[in-house]
Every structure is written in C-alpha cells, then in structure tokens.
Structure 1
Amino acid sequence: MSIRSIRTLLADDPDVGAGNVLTHRMALGLGLDEPLLAFDTPVDGHAAWQPFTLRELDRAVRARAAALHGLGVSRRDPVVVYATDVADHVLSFLALARLGAIPALLNPNVDGERAARYIARIGAVGILADAPHLAALAGHDPGAPLLPEVGTLGSGDPDAAPAPYRHWSDDPVAITHSSGTTGMPKAVVHSHASLYAAIRHRLRLPRPQGQERMLSALPAPHAATLIAVNLALSSHTRLDLLSRQAGAGVLDAIEERRPTGVIGFAATWAELAHHDLAKRELSSVALWWNTGDCAHEVHIRRLIAAGSREAVTREGRVRLPGSLFVDGLGSTEMGHSHFFITHGPGTERYGRCVGRPHAFVDCELVGPDGEPLGTGEVGELATASPTLALGYWNDSVKTFRTRIRGRFLTGDLMYRDEEGYYYHVDRAVDSVELGDGKRLFTAMSEERVLAACPDVADCTVVAVRDGDQVVTDVLLILTADADPTADRTKAVTAALDEAAAATVRQVLVVAGDDIPLGPTGKVRKVLLRRRYLDSVAAR
C-alpha cells in the first residue's frame, strides 16, 4: 500500500474525521516509523525539532489519554488548554479527542483576567495549563478546577489508555476562539466532520508543490493548526510546528528546517516582509500558504520574489527562482479558507482579490436586507460549507443571529467581478458610511496606501464617526531605510478614493508597539477607535 493509497482510503472513509485520524493511520499500518511531526520545544524526551514518528506520536497521545482518563475526564467534557508551547496544544488535542472529550484551546496571549472570564463562560470541567499560565490565572475565578500541569501528562502509562472513542460526524471535537479584536473572544465549536471536510477534499487532489515538508507558523490554539496537523497525518507530510509567529523567528526556522512550504496568517507575512529577505536563505520554500485574513499585495510580492519552485520547461524539470503564494479568506467560524488564488512571479490579479470559492463552498453576497446582490455590488459574505463550525459554544443567540437561509454571515464585505473572482474590501465593523451611497473601506484603503508608498512597511487605517463627521487617521510603519520626518500626507491621500481622502485628519508615523494587537496578531481597530473618541471627550 502506498502513501497515495492511504490518502484515498482516508478520503473515502466516512468514519474518518478530525477526532480520529491518528488511530485510523495506526490501523492502516504504513509508515509508522518514519519521521512526521516535530515541535520547536523539548517534549517527552524528544529534543526540540527531533521528529516524532507515527508510532511515537501514538504512544505520546495514549500516555496523555491515560493520564486524563485517570483524572476522570470523559466524553463530552470540555477541557481548556492554556499554554505557550504548540506541543502542549497538539498533543492535548489528540489525547482529549481520543477520549471523546472536547479540547478548548486558548491562545496564550490572552491575559489571565480575560482568560478566566472566557473559561467561566465555557463551563469547562478542568484546565490544563503550563506554569506561566497557571500563574496568570492566580487571583481569578475561571469556574473550573486546575488539573495537573499540562507538561506532566506525558508520564502517563500508554497501555492504560482506554479504547478510542468512536466519533459521530456531528460530535464536537474542539472549541477554538475568534481573534478577540472586538472584545471578549467568541468560543467557536467545531465538529468531527467539519474540521476534516476540507482535508477530505484536498486528499482527492494531487499534492501541490511545496507540501512535502511544511513549517507551521500558525497560532498553536487555532483551528487552522488542527487542520494542518490532521492534513499532515492524512497525507504523510512532514510538519514542523512553531509556538511563536514573530517574523524573525519564522525566518530563523526556515533557514534551520529547510521547509518546502510555510503556512501562516497575514500578520506573519507582514512581519516577514519587514526584513531584507534577499539576505536570508529561503531557497527551499516553494509555497507560502495563507489562511484567515487575505494578505496585502506588497507583502505577497516580497515573499514570492524569494524562494524557488520547480517548473517544466523545454529543457525538462528545472528549479526557477521565485515561489508561489496561495491566498484566500477564512475565519474560525468558516473552519477553513473558502476562497483561494495562487500568486507567483508574473501574476497580476491583486487589489485584495481572494480568488474563487473552493468546490465545497456555496456562497453569495447579500445586502442589509439579506437579499443576494449582483456582480460588482459590495455586500456581506453569506456562505455555506461542510467546513462551517457548529456555532458558538453556550451562545445560541449569537449562533442564530449569524445564520441566514442556511448560510453563515461572516461580517466580511466583498464584491464579485464578471469572471467570478471575489475581492475583500473590509470587515463590516471597520467600514463607515459616508453618505450619498458612499462608504469608507479601511482594509482596501490600507491596500492602496501600501501599493502607492514603497517606503511604508505596514499601514493601519482607522475611521471613526464623530457626530455627523467621519474622521480618519492613517498610521504608518516605515521600512528600515525610510525617512521618518518626511510628510507623506499628500501621497497617502492621493492613493485613496476622493471620498475617503476627504475624511483624513492626520497621517502619522508610528512604531509597531503603538498598534494594539489581538491574541492572534490582528490589529484591534475597535480599541483605536475608542482611543480617539476618549481623546475627544477629554478635551
């Protein structure tokens, strides 16, 4: 039996899902002693980056399942995982899923006070945390008992693990949370089937160039990490996982690990683009794979100028300079990117184009009344897909408010062109009505500023309605060689459309630390807007 046969068998088996890939792989018995997953920190006697084989991974998971079972954890029990290292999240997820419990993965960047309130809303039966996060919870009441430190679970007896729980398609297998940029993170519950639906689709396609050996720069507790792990297990892809997503650390890991592909979020690509990539050894990378928010053109262009890819020419198969970048648009609730487009040297379809929908997606753009819109009209994305999360944990009101005609309302504003390509212009909460049928789109404004100002490394546009007036601040982070004293107001306003430019109050050069970020690295525009309104009220 070949690896290709395994991909087909898993894709065609309706019982396989996000909660049991590992046990099904073990049952197939192929490639059990080949290196597969590696973590950036020591765990279970493995040094940092020493890979686990499938057999070793199964043993580590059974040890944790036995320890958790001994603590009384059983099926349908929500258990929070609050730790820094990606190994703790991945191994805990696999162990809890084996028991039929529900791992609730919590981003380590969420502070202790907010974490406690979030955990209390979930109604967890226990909390698995590392030492720093146990300390962060001290003095707060999460409404759930603290279990032994997460790093101690690997000492359990793997032979004492109970038989794997038999999952049903709608069984909840994970709770992850939204980015938290607008306030308290929302707890999103994923099913056994939904977290595997996109993987099943991919297994039936040829494995793309760059997926032979992947580096994950995704946040450890995110649904995208769970998908990446299960995709690696299903397709027998080598996967190295980072616990932190800072640009310099990702570049160091690429040079050390020599991956053929790197998967991450837009915030990480922006950080990578701040560096002089020509001075880094990135030739192994053929593919950059983005999920979550779509990426900016200037960041994509800097990345695809690096790396190398295989191509078939008249001289045969050769290695060419330059790499590919797969962009798209997804969210925690969508469960997987619903769109995709591939950029490479010579491609020109940008302007926040996220491509066309995947084959498993049925979407439309709707107006404020929920009715579908036509070509070229900006509306909110309403999408249906087997990847969609079940809803919000312990919040049926929010769950049903985001549903219309069987579709999920994502909060993303987009339009579709005549060729069926979709373009993302903003999040609904960040755009502002200007009157006379005009609207200011902050994300599209950022795209235009970045494209027009080559010495700007990143840009944040914040628009606030102050009474009858809309006021816009444009915050610029400059490249290392840029002149911070230069006045860029004229260049910035020229890049914007006329209606948006008329609202600009100031163009400011700021440091990265001046921009508040959520746990996953997204800009907290709601906090920037509040700061503006507070400053006005204080005058």
Structure 2
Amino acid sequence: MKRTNDRAQLAADQELGIGNVLTSLAGRGTGLDRPALTFDTDVEDHPAWQPLTLHELDQRVAARAAALHALGIAPRDCVAVFVSTGADMVLSYLALARIGAIPALINARVAGATAAEYIRRLRATGVLADEAHRAELAPHGLDTPLLADVADLGKGDPAKAPPVYRHHADEPVVITHSSGTTGLPKAVGHSHHALFASIRHRLTLPKPQGLDRMLAALPTAHAAMVIAVNLALTNRVELAVLSEQSGSGVLQAIERWKPQSVLGFAATWSELAGEDLSQWDLDSISVWWNTGDCAHEAHIRRLVAVGSRRSLTPQGIKRTKGSHFVDGLGSTEMGHSQFFITHTPTTDRYGRCIGRPHAFSTVAVLDDDYEPLGPGEVGQLGINAPTLSLGYWNDSVTTYRTRRNGFFLTGDLVYQDEDGWFYHVDRAVDAVELPDGRKLFSAMSEERVLAACDDIRECTVVAVREGGRVTTTVLLIPVDKADIETDRTAQVLAALEDHVAATVDRIVVVDPELIPLGPTGKVRKVLLRERFLAGERFEAGGSRTGDGAVLAS
C-alpha cells in the first residue's frame, strides 16, 4: 500500500480516534517492523534510545493492559497516572485507552499535596505511580487506591490482554490538565474524535517538511504529547519522547538523536535561546514546532538562525542555512493550536502575531457582551472547533461559564488586523486597566522588552493595583554571560509604550529560581501579584526582602 493512500484511508476511517490508533495500525498488519516510538529510558529489557517498532510497541502496551485488567481496571474507570518518565506516561495512557479506561495524566512536577487534591476531585478509581510519586502522595492522606507500581506493569502477558475496547466518537478517552498557574490545575476531558480532529485534518494534506524524525520536548502529561504520539503513529514516522524539557537536555537529545523537527512549549524555547547555540550540532533541525503559549520574537530569531531548510533559490530547491519556526496559540481546552504562522531567518511579521486560524477552526474576537469586534480592536478570543475538549471533569459550572454564543472563551486577549492576521496581547487575568482607561498588557510588554534587550533571556512584567494606582515591576533574567550590574532602566522604559512605562517603579535582574513557575514552565503571575501586594520585593541579583524598598539594577 502506498504511504499516501495509507494516510488518506486513515483520515477517512471514522472509527479511528485518539483511543485506538495503535491497535488499529497493528491490526492492519502493515509496517509492523518500522521504528515507531523511542524513549530516553529503558522499557523492560529494551534499552533507552533504541526505537520500538510498531509491533514491539503494541506488545508492550498489551502487556500493560493485561496487568491492569488483572488489577480489576475496567472500561470507563478513571485512573490517574502520576509518573516521572515519558515511557511510563505514554505506555500507561495507551494501555488504559486499549481497555477503555480513562487515563488522567498528571504532570510529574505537580506538588504532592496539589496532586492529591486533584486526584480526589477526579473521583478516580485508582492511581498509577512510580516510586518517587508514591512517596510524594504518601503524606497527604489520599483515599484513592494506589495500584501496582508502574515498573511492574510491563510484566503482564500480552496474550492475556482483554479485547480492544471500541471507542465511540464522543466518549471521553483521556483527561489532561491546565497549567495550574492561577490555582489548582483544572481537569480537562478529551473525546475520542476531538483530540484526533487536528490529526485527521493533517492526514488530508500533503505530508509537511520535517515530519520524518520528530523529537517531543513536551510535558509528557499534556494533551500536546497525546497528539504528538498519534500524529507520529498515523504518519508512520519516528518520534522520540523526552522525559524532561530543560534547554540543555533538549540540546543533548538533538545532538544524540538527530531529529528533523522539535516539538515544544515556549518555556523550552526560552531556555534554548539562552544557550550559545553555536556550540551545539543542530544541523539536522529543519523545523521547531511551538504549541501552547505563542513564542517571543527574541527566542524565535535565535532558533531560526540555526539548522537548515529546503528553500527555492535561483538554482532550484536547495538546503539553505536557517530553520523554520511554526508558531501559534493553543491550550489544553482548545485541544490543539488554533492558529499558525511560519517564521524563517527572512520573515519579519512579529509583535506576537499568532498567524491565521487553521481550516478546522472558527474564531472570533468578542467584546464584554460577547459580540464580535472589528479589526484593530482588542477583545476576548472565542473558538469553535472540532478539537475542543468536552469540558472540565466533574465541574460543569466552570465548563458552561466558558461557553458563550457558540464559542469557547479561551481567556486570551487578541486583535485581528485588516489583512486577517491575529495578534495575542495578554491573558485576560494579567491585563490591567489604567486610571485613564487604557490597558496595560503584560505579555505584549514582555515581548517589547525582549526584542529591545539582546542580553536578556526572559522578562516577566507584573502589574498590581493598590487603591487607585497601578505599579509595575519588570523582572529580568539575563543570558548566562551578561553583566548583571548593567543599568538597563533607560533601555527597558524606551521599549515600553509610554502609558506602560509611566507605571514602572522597579526594574530588577533576578535569579530565575525566584520566579514561581507552574508545572509546564509558565510564570505564576497571580502568585507574584499576591506577594508584591503583601510587601515582598526582589532585590537586584536574586534575594528577596519584605521591606518594600524600590530597587533597580
């Protein structure tokens, strides 16, 4: 069977979805010996960094399904998965989906107390955890039973796996969670067809450049990882799954595994951009694929300067220096990025441009009454797409609060220009209205500062309202070789809009360890605002004080 015909048949198969891609492909009996998934840790007797073929992957998942079935796990049981490695997360998800249970994937970085409360609200049947995460949960009085250690699941007999569950299009298949930057992570349910919708769409299109050998530097419990695994399987390409996503770890994996493309979040691009990329062998990279929050221009420009891509030249199609960066905007609830824009070393459409919507998505910019706004007007982003989640697990109140006039309200503030390009300015919870009626957009302010300051790797802008006054703190994290004593006040203020610069009372170079992050690497600005209102201040160089002193470096 030709590969093009294979992709078209998969796209047309309405039985296919996020719950049964692996078993469906194995059942076809073709390509069983092709490399499929590679993990950075051993899988039983299979060594790390050696690819599992489709057949080997199917057998290891069947072994885990047999072990789970023997533990009494049945269809529609919700089972929390709280583990450290990409192999344990992905194989547990595939095994639970195979028997019709509903895996609830939990980011390994979630604190034990938070995870215990999250699991309680899931009303889960049981918890799959490794030794480290069983210890994390132990002090918190969790009532949900701890099932077998994930290290033992691979000992099951594949021949004793129960029949493959037949998923219905609208049934929940997997639960992932939000970033938790504003509080307890929200559990988000995804259906068999919804989380597969973007993959089905891509299967109807020509296979894109850079999709032969992919490195997933994504949080392993995120919906984006579930999509990446099934995108790779349906396109019959190789995918390597990283268990952690630090900049140095990703660079080491690129040198070792030589991927054509890397999939990641904005936090990873920030770390990569802070490295001296000339010291690493990145020639294999053709495409960086971003999902979740849109990326900053300063980070994108450093990444597209390395690697190589196919380009049309006067001499024909040739490989040229520099890579592609595919940006957009997505979230757990959206189920997939809803926009896309491709950058190269020669492109210049930035300013937090998130591109245009995918063909499967209907988007709108809405005012406070949920009516459409015109070009240039900033409003709430509304999405109507087949990729949308089912809603928040065991929380219909929040689910229906975020659905208005046929749209899911993402919590993002955006605008559209006259040519149909969309731009992201902030999260609604982080924007502040100033006394004169204008708005301070923290994300757009960070974009401006990073674009203006070459020696700054990351910037966090935090605005707080005290009485009738708004004060803004600009926290800077320099690249490793930058002088932390340099006075950047004039440079930062010049980069900001005048009405934003007028609110700034502190510009501080800080130790990155002092910036509170959520499990996926997002800055917890809500927590920073609470700290600042309580009188906490960050001193230049990294320490904290509660004396309220105004400090700048």
TM class, shorter-length:
over 0.9
1:95-122 per-residue CA deviation (whole Å, 9 max, x = no partner) reads: 1001111000001101111110000000
- In the alignment, structure 1 segments of 5+ residues that lack a partner are none
Specify the code of the residue in structure 2 equivalent to 1:72: G
Q: Distance in 1 between matches of 2:482 and 2:158?
A: 57
Say whether 1:193 aligns with 2:225.
no
**Distance in 1 separating the partners of 2:348 and 2:310:** 20
Letter in 2 for 1:126: G
Q: CA deviation at 1:144?
A: 0.7
Aligned equivalents of 2:449, 2:493: Cα separation in 1 = 8
What secondary structure does 1:64 align onto? Answer: helix
Which moved further from structure 2: 435-444 or 356-365? Answer: 435-444
Q: How many angstroms does 1:278 deviate by?
A: 1.2
Give the equivalent residue in structure 1 for 2:182: 182
CA–CA separation in structure 2 for the residues paired with 1:344 and 1:392: 37
Q: 2:443 corresponds to which residue?
A: 443
Q: Which amino acid aligns with 2:160?
A: A
1:346 matched to 2:343? The reply is no
Give the residue type in structure 2 aligned to 1:150. Answer: V
Whether the aligned pair in 2 keeps the contact of 1:34 and 1:53 (CA below 8 Å) is yes
Please state whether the residue corresponding to 1:493 is helix, strand or coil: helix
Contact 2:462 2:529 in 1 (8 A): yes
- Tell me the residue number matched to 2:71: 71
Tell me which residue corresponds to 1:485: 485
Shift of residue 325 of structure 1? 0.2
1:140 matches 2:168: no
Asked if structure 1 preserves the Cα contact closer than 8 Å seen for 2:310 and 2:319, the reply is yes
Structure-2 residue corresponding to 1:46: 46
Farther off after superposition, 325-334 or 452-461: 452-461
**Deviation sequence 1:340-394 (CA, Å, 0-9, x none):** 0000021010000000000000110111111111110000101100000000000
> Quick one: distance in 2 between partners of 1:429 and 1:142?
32
The residue number in structure 2 matching 1:297 is 297
Hey, what's the Cα distance between the residues in 2 that align with 1:138 and 1:6? 48
CA distance in 2, matches of 1:232, 1:532: 45
SS of equivalent to 1:232? helix
Structure 2 distance, partners of 1:388, 1:440, is: 30
Take 1:100 and 1:199, find their aligned partners in 2: how far apart are those partners?
Answer: 21
CA distance in structure 1 between the partners assigned to 2:181 and 2:333 by the alignment: 15
Give the Å deviation of 1:538: 7.7
Query: What amino acid does structure 1 have at the position aligned with 2:200?
Result: R
Residue deviations 1:453-472 (CA, integer Å, cap 9, x gap): 11111100001111111110
Gaps (5+ residues) in structure 2?
A: 537-545, 549-553
1:62 maps to 2:62: yes
Secondary structure in 2 matching 1:535: coil
Cα deviation 1:288-340 (Å, max 9, x = unaligned)? 00000000001000000000112243434321110000000000000000000
Q: Report the residue type matching 2:106 in the other structure.
A: L
In structure 2, distance between residues paired with 1:339 and 1:156: 42
Which SS does the other structure have where 1:139 is aligned? helix
Q: Which residue of 1 aligns with 2:398?
A: 398
Deviation at 1:142, TM superposition (A): 2.7
Q: Report the equivalent of 1:306.
A: 306
The residue aligned with 1:459 is: 459
Equivalent pair of 1:44/1:60 in contact (CA under 8 Å): no
Which residue number in structure 2 is paired with residue 468 of structure 1? Answer: 468
CA contact (8 A) 2:36 2:238 kept: yes
AA matched with 1:410: T
> Which residue in the other structure is 2:512 paired with?
512
Q: What amino acid maps onto 2:248 in structure 1? A: A
What is the aligned partner in structure 1 of residue 276 from structure 2?
A: 276
Q: CA deviation at 1:511?
A: 1.5
Deviation of 1:475 (Å):
0.4
The yes-or-no answer on 1:80 pairing with 2:80 is yes
Counterpart amino acid of residue 179 in structure 2: S
Corresponding residue number in structure 1 for 2:535: 535
What is the one-letter code of the residue matched to 1:504? Answer: V
Q: Distance in 2 between matches of 1:460 and 1:64?
A: 43
CA distance in 1, matches of 2:347, 2:458: 22
Give distance in 2, aligned partners of 1:142 and 1:362: 42
The answer to whether the 8 A contact 2:435-2:468 is kept is no
1:272 partner letter? L
1:193-227: CA deviation from partner (whole Å, max 9, x where unpaired): 11100000001111111111000000000000000
Give me the whole-angstrom Cα distance separating, in 2, the residues matched to 1:42 and 1:415.
47
Alignment-mate amino acid for residue 284 of structure 2: S
Once the two structures are TM-superposed, the CA of residue 493 in structure 1 deviates from its matched residue by: 1.0
Whichever residue aligns with residue 348 of structure 1, its letter is D
Q: Name the SS of the counterpart of 1:211 in structure 2.
A: coil
Aligned positions of 1:319-334 closer than 5 A: 319-334=319-334
Query: What residue in structure 1 maps to residue 230 of structure 2?
Result: 230
State the Cα distance separating 1:479 from its structure 2 match: 1.8
Output the CA distance in 2 between the equivalents of 1:446 and 1:417.
21
Q: Are positions 1:111 and 2:111 aligned together?
A: yes
Q: For 1:252, give the aligned amino acid.
A: Q
Q: Which residue of 1 aligns with 2:252?
A: 252
Quick one: distance in 1 between partners of 2:65 and 2:469?
58
Contact 1:115-1:142 within 8 A present in 2 as well: no
Count of residues in correspondence between the two structures:
539
3-state DSSP of counterpart to 2:345: coil
> 2:392 and 2:301 mapped to 1: Cα distance?
37
* 3-state SS, counterpart of residue 103 of structure 2: strand
Alignment partners' CA distance in 2, 1:158 and 1:30: 20
Q: Secondary structure at the match of 1:329?
A: coil
Aligned mates of 2:328, 2:514 — CA distance in 1: 28
* Secondary structure in 1 matching 2:245: coil
One-letter identity of the residue aligned with 2:141: D
Q: In the alignment, is the contact (CA less than 8 A) between 2:435 and 2:469 conserved in 1?
A: no
User: By how many angstroms is 1:260 displaced?
Assistant: 0.3
Query: Which has the larger displacement, 174-183 or 475-484?
Result: 475-484
2:502 aligned residue:
502
The residue aligned with 1:407 is 407
Q: Structure 2 CA distance, aligned partners of 1:176 and 1:479?
A: 33
Task: Please name the residue that 1:204 is paired with.
Answer: 204
Alignment check: 8 A CA contact 2:35 2:237 kept = no
Q: How does 1:365-380 map to 2 (within 5 A)?
A: 365-380=365-380
- 1:14 aligns to what SS in structure 2? coil
User: For 2:454 and 2:311, how far apart are their aligned partners in 1?
Assistant: 30
Q: Find the residue that maps to 1:138 and give its secondary structure.
A: helix
Is 2:370–2:405's contact at 8 Å kept on the other side of the alignment? no
Residues in 2 aligned to 1:142 and 1:314: alpha-carbon distance in whole angstroms: 66
* Partners of 1:490 and 1:204 in 2: CA distance: 51
Counterpart CA distance in 2 for 1:6 and 1:24 is: 12
SS at match of 2:292: coil
Question: Which amino acid in structure 2 is aligned with residue 347 of structure 1?
Answer: T
TM (normalized to structure 1)? 0.99
Distance 1:190 1:115 in 2: 20
**Counterpart of 1:358 in structure 2: which amino acid?**
H
Q: Does 1:159 pair with 2:172?
A: no
Instruction: For 1:219, give the aligned amino acid.
Output: P
Return the letter of the residue paired with 1:265. Answer: F
